[in-house]
Amino acid sequence: MLRRSKRDFRWFWIGLALAAIALAAVPAAAWEREPLDVYHQRRLRLVRETGGDGVVVLLGYREGDIGVATTPFRQNENFYYLTGWNEPDALLLLVPANSRRSDANHEVEIEKEILFIPPHDYRQEKWTGPKLGPDDEDASARTGFPTVRSAGLFATELQEALKNFGKIYTEVTPQPESGEECFVAEMLSRIKKLAPLAGLEDFRSALMRLRMVKSPGEIALIRKATEASIEAHLAAMKTVRPGVWEYQVAARMKYEFERLGCEWPAYPPIVGSGFFSTVLHYGQNDRQMQAGDVVVMDVAGAYGGYASDITRTLPVSGKFTPRQREIYEIVLGAQNAALAAAKPGMLIRKTHDKNNLYRIAFDYTESHGKDKDGKSLGRYFIHGLSHSLGLNVHDPFDNDKALEPGMIITVEPGIYIPEENLGVRIEDDILITENGAELLTRRLPRTVEEIERLMAEK
């Protein structure tokens, strides 16, 4: 999924109606998360990454930070990554073992590991359902925290911790593309009011290093998101035809991946036909597809909070024209070249460095085919090749960092020729392994022949 700037919720309401029909027959999938000890180990690693010379503080989203009237509550990514807790109004405090008592030859340990959650409001729970309270007997077992306290005690615990530490590690800069600028600014304001004399240090780079390499549990959740999203694309291949509206395809896809357990779209669906196949962040999805068009479908779901990201380009009539086939096979060739080269040690940034997957895909595009003026096609490949996947469809990643086993990235070359109303993007997800890469989306057709054959089965 490429970067985008606006949203269109038409698909949401149509998909919601279809999902309601599905839920009558299919039991709702429970939110799936990793074992609780995984989150504890992440907290320990973060404290060690920051050196143990300050406390770690992180505030989760409050209910008002999410438009809960139109979308399910979803916790701040970093908060969820460290806690596995997806309820509002929670706070996190990690206190390292006092450095004066620590042996320099031993790794830093955590002395206090506290999750703060709101106390029970039984009247409100009649509307929202039962919640876990800090005084419940099973609070520790259900959260994986040795200590669970009422959110009202956070200020007192923070002041006590700061008697031994003058520094607070937290989110000082928002995650790019997250829309969290206001949230982070407000969080910092709240922290400064509680601890005006403490220094604030950004732990974003440390946490990014942790998030770039996925745990086995994260990989399993991304696989589930990917498998559900593949089913959505397979359904779309049998839905696309002349006269169908783009939003109908988006709604069908959303229905399919939510039917299979995805909680929400990993990003607003892009279904762009004709000229709009060349518009990277087309989000209106309100055009009726015409014979002779191609349609770019950049659509996927999120499972357990983890995103998939898949794009396919289809001929609306079921058969590519010779020109459409030519451009499609150039994009496919560029993708295959990058997939063959994907392995530890390679780079993905949009430069022409040696050992760079982008360079491999771009060079293939530049050396194959021409536009109507006889010029090479590299100038129509206008975006990067890859990004990381995780809790965010553009998960935190250091583009100067070489690929490592356990990283999950997209591979998505594209050619967009507006004067020909012809855009082609093919996007797949891969897991970097010890010796190469695993194509997670391998079950979904990519070749011209496979696509045309499946579309003929309508």
Write out the two tokens for 70.
């139109």
Which is it for the CA torsion 42, 179, 229, 213, positive or negative? negative
Q: In this predicted structure, what is the pLDDT of residue 105? A: 59
Long-range contacts of 347-354 (CB under 8 A, 24+ apart): 347/399, 347/400, 347/402, 347/403, 348/384, 348/385, 348/386, 348/387, 348/399, 348/403, 348/409, 349/384, 349/399, 349/400, 350/383, 350/384, 350/385
Q: Are residues 297 and 359 in the same domain?
A: yes
Distance in angstroms (rounded) separating the CA atoms of residues 417 and 188 = 45
Distance in angstroms (rounded) separating the CA atoms of residues 166 and 195 = 9
Long-range contacts of 15-24 (CB under 8 A, 24+ apart): 15/250, 15/251, 15/254, 15/255, 15/258, 18/251, 18/252, 18/254, 18/255, 19/254, 19/255, 19/258, 19/259, 22/255, 22/258, 22/259
Q: In this predicted structure, what is the pLDDT of residue 22? A: 37
**Which conformational region is residue 318 in: left (phi greater than 0), alpha (psi within -120 to 50 degrees), or beta?**
left
Count of domains observed in the chain? 2
Q: In this predicted structure, what is the pLDDT of residue 27? A: 34
Choosing from 190, 211, 232, the residue where a domain stops is: 211
Q: Are residues 221 and 197 in the same domain?
A: no
Q: Confirm whether 81 is domain-assigned.
A: yes
Q: Are residues 195 and 247 in the same domain?
A: no
Distance in angstroms (rounded) separating the CA atoms of residues 317 and 232 = 19
Q: Confirm whether 24 is domain-assigned.
A: no
Q: Are residues 358 and 405 in the same domain?
A: yes
Q: Are residues 78 and 159 in the same domain?
A: yes
Beta pairing class for 422-425 and 301-303 = unpaired
Q: Are residues 146 and 232 in the same domain?
A: no
Determine contact, residues 389/408, Cβ cutoff 8 Å: yes
Choosing from 211, 239, 272, the residue where a domain stops is: 211
Q: In this predicted structure, what is the pLDDT of residue 68? A: 57
Write out the two tokens for 40.
């504890």
Q: Confirm whether 136 is domain-assigned.
A: yes
Q: How would you write the pLDDT of the chain (458 residues) with one tens digit per residue?
A: 765 443 343 433 334 333 333 333 333 346 899 999 999 999 999 999 999 999 999 999 988 777 656 678 889 999 999 999 999 999 999 999 975 444 555 789 999 999 999 999 999 999 889 999 999 999 999 999 999 999 999 999 999 999 999 999 999 988 777 778 888 899 999 999 999 999 999 999 999 999 999 999 999 999 999 999 999 999 999 999 999 999 999 999 999 999 999 999 999 999 999 999 999 999 999 999 999 999 999 999 999 999 999 999 999 999 999 999 999 999 999 999 999 999 999 999 998 888 999 999 999 999 999 999 999 999 999 999 999 999 999 999 999 999 999 999 999 999 999 999 999 999 999 999 999 999 999 999 999 999 999 999 96
- Within 10 angstroms of residue 292's Cβ, the number of other Cβ atoms is 13
Q: Are residues 313 and 352 in the same domain?
A: yes
Distance in angstroms (rounded) separating the CA atoms of residues 31 and 190 = 30
CATH code for the domain in which residue 448 is found? 3.90.230.10
Distances (CA, A) of 245 to 233, 238, 242, 249, 341: 16, 14, 9, 7, 38
Q: Are residues 180 and 224 in the same domain?
A: no
Distance in angstroms (rounded) separating the CA atoms of residues 130 and 87 = 12
Q: Are residues 157 and 284 in the same domain?
A: no
**Identity of residue 71:** T
Q: In this predicted structure, what is the pLDDT of residue 324? A: 98
Beta pairing class for 167-170 and 55-59 = parallel
Domain that holds residue 276: 215-455
Q: Are residues 219 and 275 in the same domain?
A: yes
Q: Are residues 350 and 284 in the same domain?
A: yes
Choosing from 168, 188, 211, the residue where a domain stops is: 211
Q: Which of 370, 371, 345, 350 is nearest to 360 (CA)?
A: 350
Global pTM? 0.91
Q: Are residues 202 and 252 in the same domain?
A: no
CA dihedral 384, 230, 279, 4 (to 10 degrees): -60
Q: Confirm whether 161 is domain-assigned.
A: yes
Q: Confirm whether 26 is domain-assigned.
A: no
